[in-house]
């Protein structure tokens, strides 16, 4: 546990060692706010809820989460520090978990900073705060899924740019898994059960079920399982690179 804590602290501090953290948080808040107020028409809808805010999260995360996670491993490979880290008395899974937790905590800060919107909604009316809490948790879990996938892809390359593009591409497939864009390619040859599985893995579909306040638990379990699976793949990727 102590080892994971040390890795976590180092990685978390690394975000704030450069202006990256401030820039990222500013962009996140500007985009999240802009989408809510101008695109989703927060005031025009005349409803005291936050669905116009959460609606955009899959798309925001698609771009912003790879930006957080791309450095996790690629930077270590480029700088050679991976050799230092991997020859300290630490297991690969501890590094994987510590790094992911740091990125996830950073995403958590970004979410916490949107609290003024929640306060505004509560001042304007009587929203269902249970649904809002579930949506926040769901959004954070979805962010964690994007981060785990991106971290895994970052482990495969030295290049942060490649890590970003690869992560965004894989993320896009997950976001769109419930739509024809992805399903049409499968429909012609895959059996219906495969289609159902792919559809059930859609980030938009799962996240919507959480923000709608129905069937939160299975969707949350989906995101948690996906995080675990991606982290396991991350460990495997590192072990395979070691033997190569």
Partner 1 sequence: MALVETRDLVKKFGALTAVDHISFSVGRGEVVGFLGPNGAGKSTTMKIISGFLEPTSGKAFIAGHDSHADPITARRHLGYLPEGAPAYSDMTVSAFLDFVAGMHGMTRQKSNSRLAELVERVDLAGVWNQRIESLSKGFKRRVGIAQALIHDPDVLILDEPTDGLDPNQKHEMRSLIRSIAADKAIVVSTHILEEVEAICSRAIIIAKGRMLADSTPSELMAHAPGQGSMAVAVETAEPQRIVDLLAKQPGVDNVEITSHVNGTARFLVHSGKTKPSGAEIIRVLAKSDIMVEEVYLERARLDEVFRQITKQIAGA
166 contacts 172 by C-beta, under 8 angstroms? no
- SS3 of 126, please? coil
We find the least distance from the C-beta atom of residue 83 to partner 1, in angstroms, to be 4
Instruction: Extract the tokens encoding 223.
Output: 């995101």
Nearest to 104 by CA among 41, 51, 34, 151: 151
21 vs 143, beta carbon nearer partner 1: 21
CB 142 within 8 A of CB 203: yes
Query: Nearest approach, Cβ of 124 to partner 1 (angstroms)?
Result: 43
CB-nearer residue toward partner 1: 2 or 119:
2
- CB closer to partner 1 out of 114 and 234: 234
Neighbour count for residue 37 (Cβ, 10 Å): 15
Nearer to partner 1, 10 or 199 (CB): 10
Q: Minimum distance from CB of 143 to partner 1 (Å)?
A: 23
Q: Which is nearer to partner 1, 90 or 162 (CB)?
A: 90
| Least spacing, CB of residue 155 vs partner 1, in Å | 15
- Structure-token pair, residue 60: 């925001």
Q: How far is the CB of 44 from partner 1 (least distance, A)?
A: 45
| Residue-by-residue DSSP string for 127-154 | --HHHHHHHHHHHHHHHHHHHHHHHHHH
Judged by the rule CB under 8 A, the positions of this chain that interact with partner 1 are 2-3, 6, 10, 13-14, 17-18, 79-81, 83-84, 86-91, 242-244
Least Å distance, CB 17 to partner 1, is 4
Cβ-contact 238, 92 below 8 angstroms: yes
Contacts of 226 (CB under 8 A, 6+ apart): 145, 148, 149, 201
Tokens linked to 110: 């970004």
CB of 80 or CB of 192, closer to partner 1:
80
- Least distance from partner 1 to the Cβ atom of residue 146, Å: 24
Question: Phi/psi of residue 71, each to 5°?
Answer: -80, -20
Helix (H/G/I), strand (E/B), else coil: 29:
helix
Cα-based distances in Å from 48 to 34, 127, 129 = 17, 5, 11
Q: Residue 88 or 217: which CB sits closer to partner 1?
A: 88
């Amino acid at each position: 546990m102590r080892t994971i804590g040390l890795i976590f602290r180092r990685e978390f501090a690394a975000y704030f060692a450069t202006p990256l953290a401030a820039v990222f948080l500013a962009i996140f808040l500007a985009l999240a706010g802009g989408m809510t107020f101008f695109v989703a028409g927060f005031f025009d809808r005349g409803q005291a809820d936050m669905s116009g805010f959460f609606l955009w999260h899959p798309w925001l995360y698609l771009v912003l989460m790879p930006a957080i996670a791309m450095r996790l491993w690629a930077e270590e490979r480029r700088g050679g520090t991976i050799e230092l880290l991997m020859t300290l008395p630490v297991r690969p899974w501890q590094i994987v978990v510590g790094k992911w937790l740091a990125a996830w905590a950073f995403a958590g800060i970004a979410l916490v900073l949107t609290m003024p919107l929640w306060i505004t909604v509560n001042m304007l009316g009587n929203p269902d705060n249970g649904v809002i809490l579930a949506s926040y948790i769901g959004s954070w879990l979805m962010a964690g899924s994007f981060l785990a996938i991106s971290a895994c892809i970052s482990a495969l390359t030295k290049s942060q740019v490649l890590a970003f593009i690869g992560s965004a591409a894989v993320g896009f497939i997950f976001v769109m898994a419930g739509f024809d864009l992805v399903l049409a390619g499968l429909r012609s040859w895959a059996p219906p059960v495969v289609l159902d599985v792919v559809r059930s893995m859609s980030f938009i579909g799962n996240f919507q079920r959480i923000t709608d306040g129905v069937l939160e638990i299975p969707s949350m379990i989906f995101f948690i399982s996906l995080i675990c699976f991606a982290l396991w793949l991350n460990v495997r990727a590192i072990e395979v690179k070691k033997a190569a």
